[in-house]
A and B are shown apart, each in its own frame.
Chain A
Amino acid sequence: MRSRGSNTWRVLLSQVAVCICGAAVAFADTPLSPTNIFAPASTPAKSIFGLSLFVLAVTGAIFLVVFTLLLYSVVRFRKRKNDDGREPPQVYGSNQVELAWTIIPILIVVALFMATARVIAIVQKTSPPSNAIEVTVIGHQFWWEYRYPDLGVVTANELHVPVSDPSHPTPTFLKLHSADTDHSFWVPRLGGKTDLIPNHPNTMWIDPQETGLYLGQCAQYCGTQHAKMLLRVYVQSKDEFDRWIQHQRQTASVSVTASQGQRIFETTACINCHTVSGTVANGRFGPDLTHLMSRATIAAGAAANTPQNLRRWILNPNAIKPGSLMPAMELNDQELDALTVYLETLR
């Protein structure tokens, strides 16, 4: 009996040890994951990070204390081999002890609550300064539409924002809408998630303080391809961002070599869903393709933006993203080639 009992506890202890080591690795090693919530790079994410360390410390301490008590009582008060067979002293309760373990948890809860309320206020009660960038984010099954109303830019799936210098912050405020089902915008290193709900506009803000590419993905189940509704946020220096804006504001470039593909694009169902500014294509159901080739990925991050992938995508979107709402276009090889050439001119 005794050996079996201690065996169980040995297993249990080793489990806990392994778990703590794993967690420690996860916390400590930033490059381990580009979506680590413990590697914040923006004020909201940093506020949450600070709070979560406090909460982890408190709950970790409680765990250690209570777990030690549990372990102690299991070992200390186990039935011994030489037991005399008599019942132990029958204890029915103690009001003093009950009072103690009611009041101490209440005090802990008060402390946790105050710290939490403060961070909620910091993140949720901030209003946009005059120099903030405003972006409207519209969730679609299964891609992201970004509109910069003050800058006259419309793009998809890859959000570009300027880096924010902590001494002169230029935060980006996101207005969140949905065109169909519920979605959720979550780029862990930049901030917590906020849902995009039809008929229920939301806002959130980020002020990334390092340039680079930040990843994330839709965090609210939105239908078949919820898993491949990926988020890419490019944080750029002020100059780079301004150049990007200038470029995106131009209408689509027209190339003579691609006129055959353009004709196919404009005479098939493509234009029902896609916009190419400066042409007859003005659909809004799918991503704006005016500057398609300025993006690194297609299909909301599901594939790299290469000519082969583009061709594969037009031929049969289900091969890359089964359940995607884009229909297979039923084009022959020659038409596919021409169309791909045309899309490649949309720089």
Chain B
Amino acid sequence: MMSTDAFALPRPELAPRPIVARLHDWVTTVDHKRLGILYIIYALVFLVIAGIEATVIRLQLIRPHNDFVSPQVFNRMFTMHGTTMIFFVVMPFLFGFANYLIPLMIGARDMAFPRLNAFSFWMTAFGGLLLYFSLVGANGLYGAGNAPDVGWFAYAPLTSRTFSVGHSTDFWTLALLVSGFGSIGTAINIVATVLCMRCPGMTLAKMPLFSWLNLVMAGLVILAVSPLTAAQIMLLVDRYLGGHFFDTQAGGSAVIWMHFFWIFGHPEVYVLVLPAFAFVSEIIPVFSRKPIFGYSVMVGATVAIGFISMSVWAHHMFTVGMGANVNTFFVLSTMAIAVPTGIKIFNWLATMWGGKIEFKTPMLFCIAFLFQFLAAGLTGVMLSVAPFTWHLGNSYFVVAHFHYVIVGGILFALFGAFYYWLPKMSGKMYSEALGKLHFLLFFIGFHLTFDFMHIPGLLGMPRRIYTYEPGRGWDVWNFIVTVGVFFQAAGILVFLGNLLWSHFRGKAAGSDPWDAWTLEWSTNSPPPAYNFASIPVVKSRRPLWDLKHPADPDWNYE
């Protein structure tokens, strides 16, 4: 195999340093790679916590009239599960990969603002800790409960002090406020990095798709998280300074909160899914041995998704009574977003078409992503049909739909990314056998849980209920759904085991284990602090292809 270490220096042997000094290095680091890894580890910890919360929810719902937990505990569980998974699992995961990979992919030595980067990470981290500190801190004054129990959407007026006594809602508000500032900081950093830090020769049209998708994601974060932050401040004003924004008993509006929340909430879905698209857009070409099909159309579709996603939020509010004309507008805008999303799926398929597909673990996760995201997109089209959503909204069908997006789409892509870039991050390979076992268990568990979850929704089962009546035809489906959880949990355990296996037993990965084409594979694994010994110069979208095929470089065709 030809050497691709052209831009890296040999690693000097360092004397081992005391653990306190090494920890100090990690806490004070401004290195984008270390911050990326911190984000990812942080997200993994919260993934396990929020997974346990999901398990409690499912155990409670395994049969009708179950009393595994009280309604109060159940309500806290789904509030914490949703809030944690969105804000403290998926977002940090994606920010972690963006942080780690963007400078490496565009041939830069770090992010544009390294100290802002560290600040943003710690804001996000403390936001998560603040949310969980509610378990200790919110208890007390009024004998009220501890963890927040208003749902991750926290609809007014349930969050007013009339209905939410004590401080649990304050912890929820402050956690999102604090982590929101972290998210906005990271987003600004990503935009600045992608726009200003690219290596010589890398025009916007020659960036890896990964950078494009994350650029649009970061733009959406700035636009979407700001209204959420504003709404949180308004809620605090309501609760403590006598404001009446959402106080319906003093003429405030519950509907205004919904608008604020969903003008954040729906772009947020694309904030989460665009980076998943980014992983898939890098992994599928490498394991199909072909360049991405229709690069410029993929970029166009991404930008289109970014724009349209800002105009679809009220499809979460079809049952709120917005009137026929408003509903009709949001039906159209929501359906419109299916077009660029469909284009993306077709382009990934076309990338695989005519290739030589290797079924390594990352590719397995990406193929499952394609299949599941297709299904999730189509249930999304069903939900864009407002009259259908008058039934399906707030039912278990909707829960199944967005878990299909977030687990079947985003988490599967994330696992693919994990296996794909782990050799780069740690310098060691993972176990292919354990990786495939993880895939199999998680795939079975996912489909047991989320395929069958659609059905009770069609049979009239609303979400967020701590128990249900027998005789509604929901029992057997709920039982199957809960069984699937154990397969998923087993899959996660195998995954964590694989990380340990890789750490202790993994073979050295070398700089380019997948024979890939983007710049991160041209430097050592793990990369040195300065990333590249000399800043690379690129002439096409696949600089390593050019290096490996000097007789037939890409720039002849782009």
Binding site for B on A (CB under 8 A): 1, 4-5, 8, 11-12, 15, 18-19, 22-23, 26-27, 32-38, 47-48, 51-52, 55-56, 58-59, 62-63, 66-67, 69-70, 73-74, 77-80, 83, 87-94, 97-98, 101-102, 105-106, 109, 112-113, 116-117, 119-121, 123-125, 141, 176, 180-182, 184, 186, 188, 191-195, 197-200, 202-203, 215-228, 230, 322-323
Say whether A55 contacts B382, CB under 8 Å.
yes
Say whether A77 contacts B371, CB under 8 Å.
no
Residue of A nearest to B351 (CB): A91
Interface centre among B296, B455, B468 (most CB of A within 10 A): B455
A221 to B389, CA, bound (A): 17
1/0 per residue, CB under 8 A from A, across B454-467: the answer is 11001111111111
1/0 per residue, CB under 8 A from A, across B162-204: the answer is 1100000000000000000000000000000000000000000
The reply to whether the CB of B253 lies closer than 8 angstroms to some CB of chain A is yes
Which chain B positions have C-beta within 8 A of A69?
Answer: 349
Say whether B331 contacts A120, CB under 8 Å.
yes
Say whether B339 contacts A102, CB under 8 Å.
yes
Interface centre among A1, A67, A197, A200 (most CB of B within 10 A): A197
Residue of B nearest to A109 (CB): B335
Expressed in whole angstroms, the minimum distance between the Cβ of A269 and any Cβ of chain B is 20
Which chain A positions have C-beta within 8 A of B248?
Answer: 197-199
Expressed in whole angstroms, the minimum distance between the Cβ of A165 and any Cβ of chain B is 24
Expressed in whole angstroms, the minimum distance between the Cβ of A267 and any Cβ of chain B is 29
Which chain B positions have C-beta within 8 A of A26?
Answer: 455, 458-459, 473
Say whether A38 contacts B458, CB under 8 Å.
yes
Residue of A nearest to B548 (CB): A87
The answer to whether residues A11 and B440 also contact, given A52-B382, A182-B254, A200-B254 and a CB cut-off of 8 A, is yes
Which chain B positions have C-beta within 8 A of A181?
Answer: 155, 157-158, 163
- Selected from A22, A90, A221, the residue in CB contact (under 8 A) with B452 is A22
- Selected from B151, B251, B324, B468, the residue in CB contact (under 8 A) with A221 is B151
- 3 nearest interchain CB pairs? A192-B390, A35-B460, A33-B473
Say whether A92 contacts B163, CB under 8 Å.
no
Say whether B443 contacts A11, CB under 8 Å.
yes
Say whether B388 contacts A106, CB under 8 Å.
no
Majority secondary structure of chain B interface residues (helix, strand, loop or mixed): helix
Cross-chain pairs A/B with CB under 8 angstroms, 15 sampled? A4-B436, A26-B473, A34-B460, A37-B392, A37-B459, A48-B391, A66-B374, A74-B352, A79-B356, A91-B291, A105-B342, A116-B387, A120-B387, A197-B255, A220-B155
- Selected from A8, A98, A117, A188, the residue in CB contact (under 8 A) with B391 is A188
A197 to B391, CA, bound (A): 18
Say whether A323 contacts B467, CB under 8 Å.
no
List residues of B (54-82) whose CB comes within 8 Å of A's CBs.
Answer: 70-72, 75
Expressed in whole angstroms, the minimum distance between the Cβ of B330 and any Cβ of chain A is 10
Which chain B positions have C-beta within 8 A of A228?
Answer: 467
The reply to whether the CB of B353 lies closer than 8 angstroms to some CB of chain A is yes
The reply to whether the CB of B378 lies closer than 8 angstroms to some CB of chain A is yes
The answer to whether residues A105 and B338 also contact, given A66-B349, A93-B297, A181-B158 and a CB cut-off of 8 A, is yes
Say whether B473 contacts A36, CB under 8 Å.
yes
Expressed in whole angstroms, the minimum distance between the Cβ of B311 and any Cβ of chain A is 15
Say whether A230 contacts B320, CB under 8 Å.
no
Say whether A322 contacts B462, CB under 8 Å.
no
A338 to B477, CA, bound (A): 45
Say whether B157 contacts A180, CB under 8 Å.
yes
1/0 per residue, CB under 8 A from A, across B384-414: the answer is 1111111111110000000000000000000
The reply to whether the CB of B230 lies closer than 8 angstroms to some CB of chain A is no
Residue of A nearest to B151 (CB): A221
Which chain A positions have C-beta within 8 A of B342?
Answer: 101, 105
A38 to B454, CA, bound (A): 14
A97 to B151, CA, bound (A): 45
Say whether B378 contacts A62, CB under 8 Å.
yes
Residue of B nearest to A227 (CB): B465
Say whether B354 contacts A88, CB under 8 Å.
yes
The answer to whether residues A48 and B388 also contact, given A194-B319, A221-B151 and a CB cut-off of 8 A, is yes
Say whether A186 contacts B352, CB under 8 Å.
no
The answer to whether residues A73 and B327 also contact, given A23-B454, A116-B387 and a CB cut-off of 8 A, is no
Residue of B nearest to A58 (CB): B381
Expressed in whole angstroms, the minimum distance between the Cβ of B458 and any Cβ of chain A is 6
Say whether A219 contacts B343, CB under 8 Å.
no
The answer to whether residues A88 and B290 also contact, given A63-B374, A199-B254, A226-B465 and a CB cut-off of 8 A, is yes
Which chain B positions have C-beta within 8 A of A109?
Answer: 335-336, 338-339
Say whether B358 contacts A79, CB under 8 Å.
yes
Which chain A positions have C-beta within 8 A of B447?
Answer: 12, 15, 19
Which chain B positions have C-beta within 8 A of A83?
Answer: 356
Which chain B positions have C-beta within 8 A of A38?
Answer: 458
Which chain B positions have C-beta within 8 A of A322?
Answer: 70-72
